[in-house]
Structure 1
């Protein structure tokens, strides 16, 4: 075996069961990995120096092919079902052995990294890739050890990622040839049959979402987080795609802690990652200047295309997928906080794009309401976003990240409730969707109004205004907010038709209740009393 790069003096591939490879390239720099990717014909360079690669058949995660090994450790803890799909220890061991044999004559790129900026709660990763650009992705997305740390690095979790290796569904216990399997007992993730790099990132997120609540009572969150430059107040933003999470957490007056995955301890909020993995569809420098300018040497573009006869990226091109992405290290963002650790959050924002037009643009939630809405994870799809959608469709994703949560959602909600009560943290439900009526009738709430409301919450202005109680959600709606017309704050007033408003609002409340039925049996009264109730006055 030929080995290159900075390798631990205390550990090697044999420590993670890999006895033979053709070559092992350890902890190469971005320049070395970019050069290797170009030599291997894995990608090309854009005009800004970013590496452009294709992920092959899979241009996103394959949630139906993501498994967790069901054994003595996980059998009673994991919330098994369509999200957390069980696979046997025997199937895992068989695939693991096959993958080790597959690697025997392959060149591999080994990356040692941390997941978790807080040293008390981080895990040490060793990632073995057969493609150089995947190792560069791991350099970008995980936390990079210092050189002195690499010399004595001993991993406690391993990823083996081989896109060209495929399972045999008939004998290996998988649904298809592609797979991502998490073994929490052996602390190994196996990924095969897919070139989509996000499987590695989200695999480790799932691992932390299992380990941290059980072992450390740390609350894991699928959210962005920032902190004030002056008063150092931390804010957290939860939200599904299309709600404005990236846009609203990017604030020139605040430092970015991270854009996707965090943990909340008794002392701080810390980023799990060392980089950002942002969507690029429709990207412009005017609308997203920080992301646009981060696409330079060291960044990786996925499934994008050039403008014809040019090396300039056409960010409107969806010929491969709408899920075009870029990964880059946090230091590509000028206002990123380093290390990426903030204090206890003063404010949390649940972002929703309500196409029914009945949720107020901002409302303050009690602890019970916050726990309920956290489990619900509501937003909506609108007509035109997918074939067959002709009217608004509610979307619920538990904990604003259901595909990555191995435990029952109520477990995470209970942790949230404990954190809120212990720290007197404000929780705001912010609607970035419609007002004056539903989608097709009303209009989208102006971004400047949403920004004004979030600024007022962050600055404490909303602590000194009057409130009225929402008749269905039971939450508190501010009666005034600087920079926002008072009538905007009450969706019922903007509709000008009480009967139509309450009909649509009751319809949405019923959808909340029916969605929550799947969680009801494991949710106690502290959560259930936050459930919205229908108002049948009309």
Structure 2
């Protein structure tokens, strides 16, 4: 017997449009999977994961993101510029009316979700979308709501992938847009199916609001050991946040977005969004199993047309293949989504120059410097416009595209919390060694896992160490399971002179980047390198 879900009348009045539409409201995961198949939005894998294509957009569109500027005192707190582009209120109102009118003729799926595992800092978010699979994505990634928010959500996200803006009329740069209005508490997303825009819009909201509650929002993963010790892993996409936090010997809090409050850290989300390109069961068993579980969403992963068997090695669509899955599919997880104050903090950088050591301990000033720098290499596919090779970049706080406030605000908060709670901070290179990208080799995952494990267990505190001369980094001389030659990068290069030349080149990039904060940070930080 087939049971079709019933539509519910939905009043658009709180969004400024006096009308009602029929919507599918808070469908379950099985119902959303069925709707996705019926609508021909997706295919089903042999294990029950939903296989979707995001079309033209296989990554975020950072140049199409805006924040509405009302010229109010609170708007002066926004760090306006290339990352946070201002948008006129009247243009937002105009665009909102057009998007809602567009949706009136569509099947609409509404999902009410929660953001933030800590009830004191939680937000209620409602998603309206054209696609059932996008609703499933939100249900997997965030925390399913317990009711329909009769008194209204804290924020509403309206995703209209088939609606295109008119740049000349609507005030956008292209047909694509992600516009956040913190006054009306509405987010508009159009002309992109890439569901990561939903996730990062939510993160941007939390990054704007939580500092006012003395909570540091962080682009990091987190886990807990058997002794209750908490570890954080900061890093941009592709540096290893999800992989390294999904440790068989520890319990996962979350893989990407957290807050550090007065009583410890907490996950913003209820799921994970893992990169799956070249995913292997023997190296990443937790992600392998969870990504193929029933109800997970696999973006742009290719598969056999007949058997639906997956090919995680195929990057013909994009390098940025993804899996969205609920944390319920991770056996060793922290069900509360909360942990204590971090004992260890790891800054992950995929160094394309092959200069940084596999690990170095950081002083408080060094921690503030490298956090504010946010150095890594953007890996192919995570944003539109990137080619096949990594590009060296500095992204403040390891998440500049999602930070509405001045990065110095977040850096100062981190430094204070590290000082108050005596957290150990480490710089970890998950990128290249023995030479730059194209000459050297990527540091193997088992080595990085051994390095992280040694730091957490306190082994590195007793190990002999030395300071490398270019960055003043303290590096260990011995780590169990890791070739000692690797630990000091100059020893891993064929030519020490070429290493020195490359190190000076990278050092100059750091200095140029940090100069933008003159007058905003301590002079000792400006001259650290």
Q: TM-score, normalised by structure 1?
A: 0.90
Contact 1:69 1:184 in 2 (8 A): yes
3-state DSSP of counterpart to 1:160: strand
Deviations, residues 139-174 of structure 1 (Å, cap 9, x unaligned): 11111233xx54756311111111122222111111
Contact 1:453 1:484 in 2 (8 A): yes
* Match 1:195 to one of 189, 193, 196: 193
Structure 1 residue 447, shift from structure 2 partner? 3.4
3-state DSSP of counterpart to 2:274: strand
Q: 1:372 to 1:287 in 2, by over 3 A?
A: same
Map of 1:354 onto structure 2:
351
Give yes or no for the alignment of 1:107 onto 2:107: yes
Give yes or no for the alignment of 1:253 onto 2:220: no
Quote the Cα distance in structure 2 between the aligned partners of 1:383 and 1:154. 40
Quote the Cα distance in structure 1 between the aligned partners of 2:520 and 2:148. 44
Structure 1 residue 439, shift from structure 2 partner? 4.3
**What is the aligned-residue RMSD (CA, Å)?**
2.6
* Match 2:506 to one of 487, 494, 508: 508
Contact 2:319 2:381 in 1 (8 A): no
Quote the Cα distance in structure 2 between the aligned partners of 1:56 and 1:440. 30
Deviations, residues 240-271 of structure 1 (Å, cap 9, x unaligned): 34433332222111011111111111211111
Alignment of 1:171-320 (within 5 A): 171-213=169-211, 215-228=212-225, 230-294=226-290, 295-320=292-317
Structure 1 residue 378, shift from structure 2 partner? 1.3
Map of 1:83 onto structure 2:
83
Quote the Cα distance in structure 2 between the aligned partners of 1:324 and 1:496. 35
3-state DSSP of counterpart to 1:60: coil
Unaligned runs of 5+ in 1: 533-538
Q: 1:22 to 1:434 in 2, by over 3 A?
A: closer
Contact 1:257 1:340 in 2 (8 A): yes
3-state DSSP of counterpart to 2:210: helix
Contact 1:44 1:53 in 2 (8 A): yes
Structure 1 residue 216, shift from structure 2 partner? 0.7
Structure 1 residue 37, shift from structure 2 partner? 1.7
Quote the Cα distance in structure 1 between the aligned partners of 2:434 and 2:511. 24
Map of 1:135 onto structure 2:
135
Contact 1:117 1:272 in 2 (8 A): yes
Deviations, residues 178-233 of structure 1 (Å, cap 9, x unaligned): 211000111110111221111111001011111111x21211111111111x2010
Quote the Cα distance in structure 2 between the aligned partners of 1:469 and 1:461. 18
Q: 1:443 to 1:140 in 2, by over 3 A?
A: closer
Deviations, residues 420-476 of structure 1 (Å, cap 9, x unaligned): 111110100112333344445544444333222211211122223343333232232
Structure 1 residue 308, shift from structure 2 partner? 4.3
Quote the Cα distance in structure 2 between the aligned partners of 1:375 and 1:192. 32
Structure 1 residue 235, shift from structure 2 partner? 0.3
Map of 2:37 onto structure 1:
38
Structure 1 residue 18, shift from structure 2 partner? 4.7
Map of 1:29 onto structure 2:
28
Quote the Cα distance in structure 2 between the aligned partners of 1:329 and 1:36. 19
Contact 1:113 1:126 in 2 (8 A): yes
Map of 2:59 onto structure 1:
60
Alignment of 1:310-389 (within 5 A): 310-380=307-377
Deviations, residues 287-317 of structure 1 (Å, cap 9, x unaligned): 3222222212211122233224321122233
Alignment of 1:398-413 (within 5 A): 398-413=396-411
* Match 1:427 to one of 405, 422, 425: 425
Quote the Cα distance in structure 2 between the aligned partners of 1:473 and 1:425. 21
Contact 1:73 1:185 in 2 (8 A): no
3-state DSSP of counterpart to 1:165: coil
Unaligned runs of 5+ in 2: none
Q: TM-score, normalised by structure 2?
A: 0.91
Contact 1:6 1:28 in 2 (8 A): no
Q: 1:285 to 1:186 in 2, by over 3 A?
A: same
3-state DSSP of counterpart to 2:343: strand
3-state DSSP of counterpart to 1:126: strand
Contact 1:375 1:399 in 2 (8 A): yes
Give yes or no for the alignment of 1:121 onto 2:131: no
Map of 1:536 onto structure 2:
none
Map of 1:535 onto structure 2:
none
Q: 1:38 to 1:469 in 2, by over 3 A?
A: same
Quote the Cα distance in structure 2 between the aligned partners of 1:152 and 1:442. 57
- Greater shift, 427-436 or 131-140, is seen at 427-436
Structure 1 residue 21, shift from structure 2 partner? 4.4
Map of 2:471 onto structure 1:
473
Quote the Cα distance in structure 1 between the aligned partners of 2:243 and 2:81. 33
Contact 1:225 1:259 in 2 (8 A): yes
Q: 1:446 to 1:129 in 2, by over 3 A?
A: closer
